[in-house]
């Protein structure tokens, strides 16, 4: 069985490296043959902040904000107190009152994410970003190029990211994407976990909620049928499977650890959105519109950055008792402009401003269209090219002098929110 030293890449025979003395050893019978990897940055936002602020290294750190916001991420020290991503901030502060809390700086994290992705693409063209801090890689056929098996190449990559960017990653290596993701999650932080032929036995008694794509509602439905573990779901007979309806075959295939999805270099975005949670509940139409405008600007920037345009908008509102309202509207023509997004969303919002108090507002672009189709104007909208030129001029000024250099009048109405 091959033993790989993660600190010097030596292939060794025991639990410690005879070359460098390291005990960071990964071993598996298929270590040198598997080629599908899932890479996840460890506590990414918090890791970047700790890198930039060494005084925070040994302190619990939460990235989030506001009394009513949620935790974007937290370091592993904070996790020892029970803090978790997506947890309400008030609860996180109760669990870890000594934590340092910082607002997220998405621009900074995006820069680091792009640097990491560039490192991935040196190894293989088959890189599929899954989020700002994780990706799937297919290193099949790259052994001749790199002069080493994928496992060794990935070990080198982890050390390079840590040395050059000051953050750590966890690696999962397997025969397919789903198993690679499950493997990456088992070894965090700084993990390197391999799942091969033994995967079914290793995962047999794990709860079904561990499987990607099986949410709380499905877990509850399956548990009501007495299906608790992955092995129970994998062993379903035709009669029991019929009780699960159309989703049965996909669920059973997942439990049997089958996954034939290829790794696609470019993931197709189905929607792009922005949202904010208010510090205090808002009911009035004017106040809601004041909160809507910065979302339109943020959404417009994201569309432009990702080379997409909005062919429709989706308005999202969450009431004080956490009931969600979503309203959609197709657009007469694709757009990237905040002004056009606002004009489309404003009447949709007006219909919902019925006195209900809301704690959150969001705006999404869906469906998406190619950026080349955006804001050309037609007989029904002859001013679109002029609006686009105006926005481009604003963008140039902001790039030179900062975001606050040019503001529209409606942006000056303050709204207390955290998004």
| Mean pLDDT lowest among 43-47, 50-54, 191-195, 409-413 | 409-413
Helix (H) or strand (E) holding 350, with range, is helix 338-352
Q: Judge whether residue 169 has pLDDT over 70.
A: yes
User: Whole-prediction pTM value?
Assistant: 0.69
How is residue 70 annotated by DSSP? B
Is 205 buried (19+), middle (13-18) or exposed (0-12) by CB count in 10 A? exposed
Confidence of residue 161 (pLDDT cuts 50, 70, 90): very high
Q: Specify the domain boundaries for CATH 1.10.150.20 within the chain.
A: 200-255
| Mean pLDDT lowest among 32-36, 222-226, 292-296, 405-409 | 405-409
Give dist(CA 73, CA 65) in Å, integer.
11
Average pLDDT over residues 170-174: 98
| Mean pLDDT lowest among 85-89, 289-293, 294-298, 406-410 | 406-410
Confidence of residue 118 (pLDDT cuts 50, 70, 90): very high
Q: Which residue has the higher pLDDT, 391 or 419?
A: 391
Question: Can you give the pLDDT at residue 379?
Answer: 45
For the domain made up of 32-197, the CATH class stated in words is alpha beta
Instruction: Give yes or no for a contact between 361 and 295, defined as CB atoms under 8 angstroms apart.
Output: yes
Q: Judge whether residue 142 has pLDDT over 50.
A: yes
Question: Can you give the pLDDT at residue 409?
Answer: 52
Question: Can you give the pLDDT at residue 246?
Answer: 72
Give the pLDDT confidence of 91-111 residue by residue, as tens digits.
999 999 999 999 988 888 888
Question: Can you give the pLDDT at residue 107?
Answer: 81
Average pLDDT over residues 381-391: 63
Query: Domain 272-418 is of which CATH architecture?
Result: 2-Layer Sandwich (3.30)
The residues carrying an active-site annotation are: 134
Any long-range contacts for 230-238 (C-beta under 8 Å, 24+ apart)? 230/203, 230/204, 230/205, 230/206, 230/255, 231/200, 231/203, 231/204, 231/205, 231/255, 232/208, 233/208, 234/200
CA angle 401, 288, 356 (to 5 degrees): 160
Q: Judge whether residue 187 has pLDDT over 90.
A: no
Question: Can you give the pLDDT at residue 57?
Answer: 95
How is residue 245 annotated by DSSP? G
- Give the mean pLDDT of the chain: 88
Q: Specify the domain boundaries for CATH 3.30.70.270 within the chain.
A: 32-197
Work out whether strand 308-319 and strand 358-365 pair parallel, antiparallel, or are unpaired: antiparallel
Average pLDDT over residues 340-369: 93
Q: Which position has the token pair 């481009």?
A: 392
Q: Specify the domain boundaries for CATH 3.30.1490.100 within the chain.
A: 272-418
For 19, list phi and psi in degrees, rounded to 5.
Answer: -90, -50
Question: Can you give the pLDDT at residue 2?
Answer: 83
Confidence of residue 367 (pLDDT cuts 50, 70, 90): confident
Query: Domain 200-255 is of which CATH architecture?
Result: Orthogonal Bundle (1.10)
Give dist(CA 63, CA 92) in Å, integer.
11
> Could you tell me which residues are beta bridge partners of residue 303?
none
Q: Which residue has the higher pLDDT, 379 or 278?
A: 278
Collapsed DSSP state (helix, strand, coil) of residue 2: coil
Which range of 45-54, 212-221, 234-243, 244-253 scores highest in mean pLDDT? It is: 45-54
């Amino acid at each position: 069985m091959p033993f790989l030293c993660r600190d010097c890449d030596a292939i060794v025979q025991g639990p410690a490296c005879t070359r460098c003395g390291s005990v960071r050893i990964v071993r598996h019978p298929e270590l040198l043959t598997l080629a599908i990897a899932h890479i996840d940055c460890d506590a990414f936002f918090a890791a970047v902040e700790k890198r930039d602020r060494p005084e925070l290294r040994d302190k619990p750190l939460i990235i989030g904000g506001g009394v009513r916001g949620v935790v974007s991420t937290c370091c592993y020290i904070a996790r020892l107190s029970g803090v978790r991503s997506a947890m309400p901030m008030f609860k996180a502060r109760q669990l870890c009152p000594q934590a340092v809390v910082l607002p997220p700086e998405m621009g900074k994290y995006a820069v680091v994410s792009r640097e990491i992705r560039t490192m991935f693409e040196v190894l293989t063209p088959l890189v599929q970003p899954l989020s700002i801090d994780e990706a799937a890689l297919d290193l099949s056929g790259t052994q001749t190029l790199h002069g080493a098996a994928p496992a060794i190449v990935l070990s080198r990559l982890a050390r390079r990211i840590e040395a050059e960017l000051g953050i750590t990653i966890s690696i999962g290596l397997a025969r397919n994407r789903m198993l690679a993701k499950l493997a990456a999650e088992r070894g965090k932080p700084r993990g390197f976990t391999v799942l091969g032929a033994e995967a079914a036995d290793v995962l047999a008694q794990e709860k079904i909620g561990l499987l990607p794509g099986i949410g709380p509602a499905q877990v509850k439905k399956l548990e009501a049928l007495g299906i608790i573990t992955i092995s129970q779901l994998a062993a379903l007979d035709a009669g029991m499977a019929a009780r699960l309806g159309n989703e049965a075959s996909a669920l059973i295939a997942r439990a049997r650890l089958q996954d034939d999805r290829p790794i696609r270099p470019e993931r197709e975005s189905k929607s792009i959105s922005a949202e904010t949670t208010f510090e205090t509940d808002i009911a009035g139409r004017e106040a809601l519109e004041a909160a809507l405008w910065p979302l339109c600007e943020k959404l417009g920037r994201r569309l432009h950055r990702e080379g997409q345009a909005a062919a429709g908008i989706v308005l999202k509102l969450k009431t004080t008792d956490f009931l969600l309202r979503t309203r959609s509207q197709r657009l007469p023509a694709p757009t990237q402009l905040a002004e056009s997004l606002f004009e489309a969303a404003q009447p949709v919002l007006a219909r919902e401003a019925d006195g209900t108090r809301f704690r959150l507002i969001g705006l999404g672009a869906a469906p998406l269209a190619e950026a080349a189709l955006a804001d050309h104007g037609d007989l029904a909208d002859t001013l679109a090219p002029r609006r686009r030129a105006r926005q481009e001029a604003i963008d140039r000024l902001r790039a030179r002098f900062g975001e606050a250099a040019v503001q529209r009048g409606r942006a000056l109405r303050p709204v207390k929110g955290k998004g």
